[in-house]
Amino acid sequence: MSFVEYGDTIKDGDTAIVFLGHESMFPVKVQHGTVTQTKYGVIRHSTDLIGKKYGSKVTCSKGGWVFVLHPTPELWTMNLPHRTQILYSTDISIITMMLELKPGSIVCESGTGSGSLSHALIRTVAPTGHLYTVEFHQQRAEKAREEFREHGVEHLVTVTNQDVCKNGFGVSNIADAVFLDIPSPWEAIGHAKSALKAEGGRICSFSPCIEQVQRTCLAMEEYGFTEINTLEILLRVYNVRTISLQIPDLGKAAEDNSSTAFDSSNPSNQGSPCANLQQGTVQFKSGVPLREMVGHTGYLTFATKS
């Protein structure tokens, strides 16, 4: 099992995603002789998981069932253990595009955090690229190394435990892109410039506060970066559902025209939306926004090494 290469069958030691519903899923490490409790009953790894195909429908001990999915960076982002605040797919998608990443790219990242963006970057630059990720906190760095090893991507990433603002990324003039998610990114702009290739490398800084953005932009300008721009991504989700709306009262003339144009006794008109005219409502499919939405997550500042 690898997060960048699809495997057909579930093996001992794999990380799998147990899918109970769109709003309910969790990761599990498959181990011979282990059981996992769900609201639908017990899943026995030896008999229910190992040797089965990913995507299989697994029946639990209480008669309910779940799906077992192959892990992807997107699924991992939704289910990973949070050691820090993380980036979600909305920001990750624009980061990978605006940094112009592709297979074979060399990327530097700080800080590693919970590894949400790291897994997406690794999948994007695989199989010949590499990620150099720096984490200030020793325990988080060790946990990130362990996860990358378990997920079969350790050959594509190098984890370093150090202060990027003081010691940099540990590489020079090789990176195609640099990503910063640290409290004071302006202090690391010089090290980011040193890590980037001689010309044309891209940099992105993620900051939740506009004051951080201002200082970072000044530092980028000071170090000669060009095409400096900041953007914010806001996600608005719509649900497609059947809704009912009242037919407006347009007066007697409109009623006469309506009765002339629509004959309810005609079998071809049965079941159509117009059949509800007599009840004063019409039903149809529509996109309805959620009552609550994720608002501000952070500002993304991009620039190019001149």
Q: Which residues are annotated as a binding site?
A: 114-117, 135, 163, 181
Point out the annotated binding site for S-adenosyl-L-methionine.
Answer: 114-117, 135, 163, 181
Cβ-based neighbours of 21, under 8 Å, separated by 6 or more? none
Give me the residues paired with residue 109 across strands: 133, 179
Cβ-based neighbours of 243, under 8 Å, separated by 6 or more? 283, 284, 285, 286, 288
Task: Tell me how far the alpha carbon of residue 86 is from its chain's centroid.
Answer: 10
Cβ atoms within 10 Å, residue 146: 12
> With contact defined as beta carbons under 8 Å apart, do 208 and 295 qualify?
no
